[in-house]
Chains A and B, each alone.
Chain A
C-alpha cells in the first residue's frame, strides 16, 4: 500500500475524481486478491477495455438498486465539469473509500484464513463490482471526451479488475492483456474452492487414531495393547505396522495370544505415538492430497505402492528396512 500513497497525493492535487476512482478500484481489487497487494506497479492501458465496459455497466445499472442513482448523478455532474465539483465529490467518495477499506480488510482476512473465499465474500464482491463498474464506465466515457489530461487517468485505472465469474475486465475471453500473478493466483484458489467444496473441510479435519495403550510387562517388555484396532483404523496389515515399529525402535518382539504386541524394551505411550505418527506420514497419508484414505498394496516387482482412494494418485513407498542394529546384551556367538 505504501506505493499507493505518493501516487495518491500527486494525483489529488491535479484531479480528484480520477484519483478517488482509482482508489476504489484498487480497493476492490485488494479485497479480491488474497495477498491484498496493490497492483499499481504494472499498469496497462485502460483504453483497450473502455469500449467494453459501458454496455455492461448499462446492463448492470438496471439491476442495481435505487440508491445507486444519486451517486451516479453526482458522478455525472462531476464529469460534466470535471474541475468544478471536485471538493464535494471528494468528500463523498472518501467516506465510501473508508467503508470499503474496512470491507476489503474483512474479505482479505477471510480469504487469508486458508479456507478459500467464503460465500459472504463472494456476495460482497458481486455487490461492489457492479457499482464501481457503473460509475467507472461513466467516468471513462467522460474522460475519453476530455482527452488530453485524462489520458493518463484511464492508464492508471488499468489496474486489473473485473468480475471473474462474469468474465469481465481482465477476465474477458478476448482480453489480450497479461494478467498479473496475484489476481491469477486468487482466481485459481477461488475456482479450486468453488469446484471442490470438500477440500477445505478435509484440510482442517485431522486424522484421528485411538491413542496407543501401553502396558508394562515385567521390567523389560512393553505391551502395545490396541495395535489391531489402530491398524484397522489405518487400513494396514498388522505385520507391516509391527515391522515398522520394530525397525524404528530398534528392538524385536512378538504378538501374544490376544493379538497384543509385546515389544522388548521400555517404551512410553508418547514414544510409540511418535513412531506411529511417522508411520502415518510415510505409509498412510497421500502425499498429493493429504488424505489418509489410502491403500497399501504390493506392486509388480516387490515394491509397495500406496494408492489414494480420494484422489487416485499412486506412489511407491520404501520397504521397511531395519538398517544397522547394534549388538545389545549378550555377544554374538558366531563372532570370531
Chain B
C-alpha cells in the first residue's frame, strides 16, 4: 500500500511540476521582445521595441536610451487596439545598440538574449 501511495504521489507531483515549468517556459517564450526597423522617407528609419516587460518603467528606459543613443523617441501605448502593450519608438536604426542595452547586466536591463528577436534586414 505504502508503495502505491508513494508512486501516486510521485505521479501527481511530476505532471504538476512539468505543467508549471511548461507554462513558465511558454510564457517566457511567448514574451519575446521584438526589435523592428521601419523605413521612412530617405535614409531615415524608425526602431521599435515591443514587449519590454511591464516590471520596467518604460518612461525611464526611454529617457536613458534617448540620452545614450542621442536620438529622440516616444512611447506608444497600443494596449487597447492590438494588445501590443507599450512600444518604444526611436528615431534611427538602433537595433543592435538596443539589444546590447537590453542584455547589458550592469548598465542595462540584463534580460536574456534569447527573449530578444531582431527583425528587419
Q: How far is the CA of A275 from the CA of B38 in the complex (A)?
A: 14
Contacts of B66 in A (CB 8 A): none
Q: Which of B36, B39, B121 meets A275, CB within 8 Å?
A: B121
Contacts of A243 in B (CB 8 A): none
Best-buried of B48, B87, B119 by chain A (most CB within 10 Å):
B119
- Interface residue A202 (Cβ < 8 Å from any Cβ of B): no
Inter-chain contact A323/B121, CB cutoff 8 Å:
no
Q: Which of A265, A272, A274, A323 meets B36, CB within 8 Å?
A: A323
- Interface residue B58 (Cβ < 8 Å from any Cβ of A): no
Contacts of A250 in B (CB 8 A): 36-39, 119-120
Q: Which of A220, A249, A266, A324 meets B120, CB within 8 Å?
A: A249
- Interface residue A62 (Cβ < 8 Å from any Cβ of B): no
Q: Which of B38, B39, B46, B84 meets A266, CB within 8 Å?
A: B39
Inter-chain contact A326/B121, CB cutoff 8 Å:
no
Residue interface mask A269-295, B partner, CB < 8 A = 1? 011101100000000000000000000
User: Shortest Cβ distance from A60 into chain B, in angstroms?
Assistant: 51
- Interface residue A325 (Cβ < 8 Å from any Cβ of B): yes
Residue interface mask B79-121, A partner, CB < 8 A = 1? 0001010010100000000000000000000000000000111
Inter-chain contact B121/A272, CB cutoff 8 Å:
yes
- Interface residue A40 (Cβ < 8 Å from any Cβ of B): no
**Contact of A324 with B82 at beta-carbon distance under 8 Å, contacts A272-B121, A274-B121 already known:** yes
Inter-chain contact A248/B89, CB cutoff 8 Å:
no
Q: How far is the CA of A46 from the CA of B48 in the complex (A)?
A: 66
Inter-chain contact B34/A324, CB cutoff 8 Å:
yes
Inter-chain contact A324/B121, CB cutoff 8 Å:
no
User: Shortest Cβ distance from B45 into chain A, in angstroms?
Assistant: 9
Residue interface mask B21-50, A partner, CB < 8 A = 1? 000000000000010111111000010101
Number of residues of chain A lying within 8 A (CB) of chain B? 20
Q: How far is the CA of A266 from the CA of B46 in the complex (A)?
A: 14
Inter-chain contact B121/A328, CB cutoff 8 Å:
no
Inter-chain contact B87/A324, CB cutoff 8 Å:
yes
Q: How far is the CA of A220 from the CA of B78 in the complex (A)?
A: 28
Inter-chain contact B40/A328, CB cutoff 8 Å:
yes
- Interface residue A267 (Cβ < 8 Å from any Cβ of B): yes
Inter-chain contact B38/A326, CB cutoff 8 Å:
yes
Inter-chain contact B39/A326, CB cutoff 8 Å:
no
Inter-chain contact A328/B48, CB cutoff 8 Å:
no
Inter-chain contact B40/A324, CB cutoff 8 Å:
no
- Interface residue A251 (Cβ < 8 Å from any Cβ of B): yes
- Interface residue B71 (Cβ < 8 Å from any Cβ of A): no
Residue interface mask A254-265, B partner, CB < 8 A = 1? 000000000001
Q: Which of B40, B50, B121 meets A271, CB within 8 Å?
A: B121
Best-buried of B34, B36, B76, B87 by chain A (most CB within 10 Å):
B36
- Name the interface residues of A272-324: CB closer than 8 Å to any CB of B: 272, 274-275, 323-324
Inter-chain contact A324/B84, CB cutoff 8 Å:
yes
Q: How far is the CA of A183 from the CA of B46 in the complex (A)?
A: 54
User: Shortest Cβ distance from A16 into chain B, in angstroms?
Assistant: 56
Q: Which of A247, A272, A328 meets B46, CB within 8 Å?
A: A328
Inter-chain contact A326/B46, CB cutoff 8 Å:
yes
Contacts of A220 in B (CB 8 A): 41
- Name the interface residues of A215-249: CB closer than 8 Å to any CB of B: 220, 247-249
10 nearest A-B pairs in the assembled complex, by CB-CB distance = A271-B121, A250-B38, A265-B39, A324-B50, A324-B87, A324-B84, A248-B119, A326-B46, A274-B121, A323-B34
- 18 pairs of residues in contact across A and B, judged by CB atoms under 8 Å: A220-B41, A247-B119, A248-B119, A250-B120, A251-B39, A265-B39, A266-B39, A323-B119, A324-B34, A324-B82, A324-B84, A324-B87, A325-B36, A326-B38, A326-B46, A326-B76, A326-B89, A328-B40
